[in-house]
């Protein structure tokens, strides 16, 4: 290769000696120079003749290890007005102490109108044999999972109030002291929204004319009419025109589309009662002592509820709630259906009225009410009779709730 390089340089020198061949006056073409330099460079970098080297042995590179997965967040189910956080059974205060076998009547009634989520469990419930408390607990734990109910911002504490079905003396016709009417739904209820207020119905001839002929019965005390409307239904010991008596139910049939206002709240705002006095017994006592101001108090609540009369062949059967099934005393509650759907078993952690005695039991969400709002909110159905009225009228307790949902 060195001889070839020398020959190339000699040829380049001869070019300089040709006439007009001065390289400084007419340079060699760029392609020629590059060609020469390319050969030189190629010769300079060419490897010497050597036997081929064996390929390097492959090296085992360990596969990358996956990073440990982060802990999964707690299971959560979202509702329109609440969120449910997955819990364990031992987190339910008093779960092992409740007489849970008492839930079967309310549970089976709720299964009369099951949603798709409850179809399989309700089929099992309808065919289940009689069980003890412990067997019922095991049956529920195998099929359901508990979730703590919270507001969307994480608040887990709420309010539990109580309601009941009033039992009131009534007359088919106005007679004696029984002059306060209970109305059925008026014919023009749907065409006039909102309908007449309570004050207008009591005082305006035009409003009274629209309800003439719609009187179902008469009671003696305007507060009896009010409590029927607040509770949404009630039992009437009804004296007929011929003097016979029978037990019937005044069931909810609609309202006047006016806002509900608490008369207890009004009495507190007027400084007539302290907050701890504004229970139903306290309100009745105030009304008895201030008969000349009863209408003033009543008219602060413009809402009026209308009723329909229903037979009551079984005195042990409760009124129908918003789910459309009869309520079970102390095992049914009213809820905000945007927080807890109807037909859902709910574990309550609250206390007895006016005491710190725990009230922890399994109930069914089967009703609602205009005052039942918020995520952690329940109205506990006490039943009917004097004890139920006293308990419901005094109940305003702190509350925590867990729903039991199919696995």
pLDDT band for position 34 (50/70/90)? very low
Same-domain check for residues 196 and 274: yes
Strands annotated E in 240-316: 245-255, 305-311
Same domain, 285 and 187: yes
Q: Assess contact for 404 and 344: CB atoms under 8 A.
A: yes
> How many other CB atoms sit within 10 Å of the CB of residue 345?
24
Query: Band of the pLDDT at 370, cuts 50, 70, 90?
Result: confident
| 213, 269 Cβ separation under 8 angstroms | no
pLDDT value at position 214?
97
Question: The domain spanning residue 338 has which CATH number?
Answer: 2.40.40.10
The confidence score (pLDDT) of residue 147 equals: 98
The beta-strand segments (E) located in 18-103 are 76-78, 83-86
Among candidate residues 260, 286, 311, the one where a domain is terminated: 311
pLDDT band at 17 (very low <50, low <70, confident <90, very high): very low
Same domain, 186 and 255: yes
- Measured in residues, the chain has a length of 407
Measured CA to CA, the distance from residue 113 to residue 124 in angstroms comes to 14
Task: Kindly give the pairing relationship between strand 377-384 and strand 158-165.
Answer: parallel
Instruction: Quote the pLDDT of residue 42.
Output: 38
- Asked whether the predicted pLDDT for residue 211 surpasses 60, the reply is yes
**Are 351 and 400 spatial neighbours (Cβ–Cβ below 8 Å)?**
no
Q: For 185-208, how does the pLDDT look when each residue is reduced to its tens digit (9 = 90+)?
A: 999 999 999 999 999 999 999 999
Sort residue 343 into left (φ over 0), alpha (ψ -120 to 50) or beta. left
pTM of this structure: 0.76
Same domain, 90 and 224: no
pLDDT band for 334, please (50, 70, 90 cuts): very high
Report percent pLDDT > 70 for the chain.
82
The whole-number average pLDDT for the span 206-217 is: 97
**Band of residue 46 on the pLDDT scale cut at 50, 70, 90:** very low
Q: Is residue 190 domain-shared with residue 94, that is, in the same domain?
A: no
Q: What pLDDT, on a 0 to 100 scale, did the predictor assign at position 354?
A: 84
- Residues in contact with 194: Cβ distance below 8 Å, sequence separation at least 6, in sequence order: 256, 257, 258
What would the mean pLDDT of 249-277 be, rounded to a whole number?
A: 95
Give the SS3 label for residue 169: strand
Residues 305 and 340 in one domain: no
Mean pLDDT of all residues belonging to the chain: 86
| Alpha-carbon gap, residue 242 to 63, rounded angstroms | 95
Q: Supply the pLDDT for residue 2.
A: 44
Confidence at 355, pLDDT banded by 50, 70, 90: confident
* Confidence (pLDDT) at 222: 97
- What percentage of the chain has pLDDT greater than the value 90? 78
Q: What is the pLDDT of residue 74?
A: 55
Compute the Cα dihedral for 359, 364, 365, 370 and give only its sign.
negative
Where does a domain end: 286, 311, 336? 311
Domain boundaries, position 209: 164-311
The span from the CA of 83 to the CA of 153, in Å, is 9
Average pLDDT over residues 113-125: 94
Looking at the DSSP bridge assignments, the partners of residue 351 are: 358
In the Cβ-directed half-sphere of 328, how many Cα atoms lie within 13 Å?
Answer: 18
- 152, 357, 396: which is closest to 265 by C-alpha? 396
Note whether residue 9 is domain-resident: yes
Going by pLDDT thresholds of 50, 70 and 90, the confidence category of residue 262 is very high
- 384: which 2 tokens? 């009917």
**pLDDT at site 23:** 36
- As a whole number, mean pLDDT of residues 75-100 equals 97
Give mean pLDDT, residues 304-318.
95
* Domain end (from 311, 339, 363): 311
Task: Name the burial class of residue 227, with classes exposed (0-12), middle (13-18) and buried (19+) by CB atoms within 10 angstroms of its CB.
Answer: buried
Tokens linked to 157: 């504490």
Residues 189 and 281 in one domain: yes
Residue 27, pLDDT > 60, answer: no
The mean pLDDT value for 229-248 works out to 96
Range 320-339 average pLDDT: 97
Count of the separate structural domains present in the chain: 3
Give me the helix-helix angle, 222-231 and 280-289, nearest 10°.
Answer: 160
- Quick one: pLDDT at residue 7? 52
Tell me if 231 sits within 8 A of 166, measured CB to CB.
Answer: yes
What is the mean pLDDT of the segment spanning 274-289? 93
My answer on whether 283 and 298 are in the same domain is yes
Provide the pLDDT confidence category of residue 402 given band limits of 50, 70 and 90: very high
Distances (CA, A) of 256 to 110, 139, 192: 29, 45, 9
- Same-domain pairing of 96 and 225: no
**By three-state DSSP, how is residue 318 classified?**
coil
The predicted model gives 201-230 an average pLDDT of: 96
Q: What is the CATH number of the domain that holds 282?
A: 2.40.240.50
Cα-Cα-Cα-Cα dihedral sign, residues 276, 279, 285, 291? positive
Q: Please tell me whether residue 366 adopts helix, strand or coil conformation.
A: strand
């Amino acid at each position: 290769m060195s001889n070839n390089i020398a020959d190339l340089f000699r040829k380049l020198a001869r070019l300089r000696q040709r006439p007009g061949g001065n390289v400084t006056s007419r340079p060699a073409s760029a392609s020629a120079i590059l060609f020469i330099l390319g050969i030189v460079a190629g010769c300079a970098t060419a490897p010497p003749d050597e036997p081929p080297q064996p390929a390097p042995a492959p090296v085992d590179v360990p596969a990358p290890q996956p990073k440990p997965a982060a802990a999964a967040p707690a299971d959560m189910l979202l509702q329109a007005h609440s969120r449910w956080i997955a819990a364990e059974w031992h987190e339910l205060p008093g779960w092992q102490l409740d007489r849970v076998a008492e839930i079967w009547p309310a549970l089976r009634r709720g299964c009369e109108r099951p949603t798709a989520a409850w179809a399989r469990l309700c089929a099992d419930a309808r065919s289940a044999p009689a069980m003890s408390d412990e067997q019922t607990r095991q049956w529920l734990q195998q099929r359901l999972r508990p979730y703590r109910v919270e507001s969307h911002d994480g608040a887990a504490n709420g309010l539990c109030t109580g309601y009941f079905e009033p039992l009131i003396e009534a007359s088919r016709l106005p007679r004696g002291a029984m002059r306060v009417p209970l109305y059925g739904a008026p014919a023009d209820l749907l065409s006039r929204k909102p309908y007449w207020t309570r004050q207008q119905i009591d005082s305006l001839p035009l409003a009274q004319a629209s309800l003439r002929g719609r009187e179902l019965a008469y009671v003696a005390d305007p507060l009896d009419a009010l409590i029927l409307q607040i509770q949404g239904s009630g039992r009437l010991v009804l004296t007929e025109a011929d003097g016979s008596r029978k037990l019937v139910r005044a069931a909810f049939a609609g309202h006047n589309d006016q806002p509900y206002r608490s008369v207890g709240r009004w009495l507190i705002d007027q400084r007539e009662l302290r907050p701890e006095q504004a229970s139903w017994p306290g309100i009745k006592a105030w009304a008895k002592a201030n008969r000349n101001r009863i209408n003033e108090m009543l008219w602060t609540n413009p809402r009026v509820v209308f009723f329909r009369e229903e037979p009551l062949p079984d005195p042990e059967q409760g009124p129908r709630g918003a789910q459309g099934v009869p309520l079970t005393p102390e095992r049914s509650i009213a809820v905000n259906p945007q927080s807890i759907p109807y037909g859902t078993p709910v574990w309550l952690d609250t206390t007895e009225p006016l005491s710190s005695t725990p009230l922890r039991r399994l109930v069914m969400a089967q009703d609602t009410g205009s005052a039942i709002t918020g995520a952690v909110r329940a109205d506990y159905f006490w039943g009917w009779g004097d004890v139920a009225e006293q308990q419901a009228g005094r109940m305003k307790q702190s509350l925590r709730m867990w729903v039991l949902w199919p696995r």
